[in-house]
Amino acid sequence: MFKFSNVPPALFTQLGQSVFGGSILLITPLLLSINEQAVLFLFLSLGALSRLADMGFLNLVVIYSSKAKDNISEDYTSALMSLTFERHVKAILVIFPLILLTGFSILFLKNNLTIYAFSWSIYVLALAMVFSLNFFLSFYEGRYDIRYAHICRGLLYGSSGLFFLVFSFLGFSIYSLGLSLFISAFLLLITLLKKRVINVNLNNDLHNSSIKKDFNQLSKKTFFSWLGGYFGTHGLVGSSYLFVDSIFSGMLGLTLNIFIFIQNLSNIFLVSKIPEISRLASTKSQAAFGLVKESLKKTYISYIILVFVFFVILLNLPEKYSNRLLGPENVFFISCGFLGIIFTYAYSIFVRAFQIEPFAFMSIATSLIGNFGMIFLAVFYQDLSMISFTLASLISFVWTYYIYTQCRITYE
């Protein structure tokens, strides 16, 4: 018998992101020109720089707050909230203005793009709001209720997708992206304030505790790991726009986002288990191994099925749509690369449960391989340029699996 409680909580977030991402993928070839497509995915690529504010920070919030479930002291919870709240405020005040200026510099570098400066500003403001909301939801997810947090995220992204469809058909073009996200974030903000999910309980007296030292040390290492992750995927679009060709960049952006969409949908089994894996690993329970493997199996099987469905659809797409995507060779290399990313992500969840972050150098190195390799290959033969993405993904997986085996030996 079907039970609502058996539904993986992350499914709600992924369904919402599917509506948002799906609406973008649907509307782009129908209502936007090839040049507007390039600008839209340039926005999405630059907008993904919001990871600089996160860089694993929100993941750490979930891990640390999930351990508060087993800690009866309210002082621990208030100290953790105080520390992480101030960190998230600093990120908003520093990172998002830098993202705004980075976008402006590229828009003004390309004189024909200056008309999009205002729409870019709205989009960055919306991203800052979404980051802040996700901070409070991450804390609530680990400490109290994972399902409610994911339902809220699902509603945020799902409503953004619906607004994007409406604004696009009304002729708002690129403006639709920022407006849809801003309105949805504002509505969720009101809801969370009423439900007291946004409830800042600060305790500055505990800032010198071990919580601050451990969290900040791990956060610094995590920053570089996620920075490499950004340039290894989203950064490819910006690199190709600046150094290869705007049309190629637009096609790459659309193709990559389809696979990000597929990957996110497949990852629900892993994402839903992060708090549980973290708690099991912290107590050195052998069940942590089984939970990682079980979740990974469901994830990669789902991914293979979804990719197969996509290839079937790709073979039957109208020319108007298929011409907006990269060729079949590059699509194949991208699909292999994302499979490697899924395996890497699964084993890194277990490693990070020990509150260590050994992936910084690996992440930066493989992102450089992917980006420079793509630029180099695109000069000679664009249809094979994404081989570098597959190679970088393979190196990441082998590297991560080695670290995982070493952690497992220590664990046992």
Residue 226 lies in a domain: yes
**Does the pTM exceed 0.85?**
no
Residue type, 286: Q
Taking a C-beta distance cutoff of 8 angstroms, is the pair 314, 322 a contact?
A: yes
Residue 2 lies in a domain: no
Residue 1 lies in a domain: no
Residue 300 lies in a domain: yes
Residues 105, 185 within the same domain: yes
Parent domain of 112: 7-208
Cα 354–chain centre separation: 22
Residues 143, 225 within the same domain: no
Which of 144, 175, 208 corresponds to the end of one domain?
208
Domains identified in the chain, total number:
2
Residue 123 lies in a domain: yes
User: In 3D, which of 12, 55, 60 has the Cα closest to residue 349?
Assistant: 60
Residues 204, 221 within the same domain: no
Residues 203, 67 within the same domain: yes
Contact partners, residue 145, CB within 8 Å, separation at least 6: none
Q: CB-hemisphere CA count at 13 Å for 334?
A: 29
Residues 261, 159 within the same domain: no
Taking a C-beta distance cutoff of 8 angstroms, is the pair 65, 136 a contact?
A: no
Residue type, 123: Y
d(CA 7, CA 268): 10
Instruction: Walk along the chain (412 residues) and give the pLDDT tens digit of each residue.
Output: 435 555 667 778 878 888 898 898 888 888 888 888 888 988 988 887 777 777 667 777 777 776 665 554 666 777 777 778 888 888 899 889 999 999 998 888 876 778 899 999 999 999 999 999 988 888 888 777 788 888 999 999 999 999 999 999 999 999 999 999 999 999 999 999 988 888 776 655 544 456 666 666 666 666 667 677 777 887 888 888 888 888 898 899 889 988 988 988 888 788 777 767 777 776 677 777 788 888 889 999 999 999 999 999 888 888 778 888 999 899 999 999 999 999 998 888 888 777 677 888 888 899 999 999 999 998 888 899 999 999 999 999 999 999 888 877 776 6
Which of 161, 183, 208 corresponds to the end of one domain?
208
Residues 165, 188 within the same domain: yes
Residues 11, 28 within the same domain: yes
Residue 134 lies in a domain: yes
| Burial bucket for residue 166 (CB in 10 Å: 0-12, 13-18, 19+) | middle
Which of 179, 208, 237 corresponds to the end of one domain?
208
Residues 245, 312 within the same domain: yes
Residues 228, 199 within the same domain: no
Residue type, 208: N
Residues 250, 203 within the same domain: no
Residue 174 lies in a domain: yes
Residues 237, 196 within the same domain: no
Question: Phi, psi at residue 9, to the nearest 5°?
Answer: -55, -40
Residues 90, 226 within the same domain: no
Contact partners, residue 40, CB within 8 Å, separation at least 6: 24, 28, 32, 174, 177, 250, 253
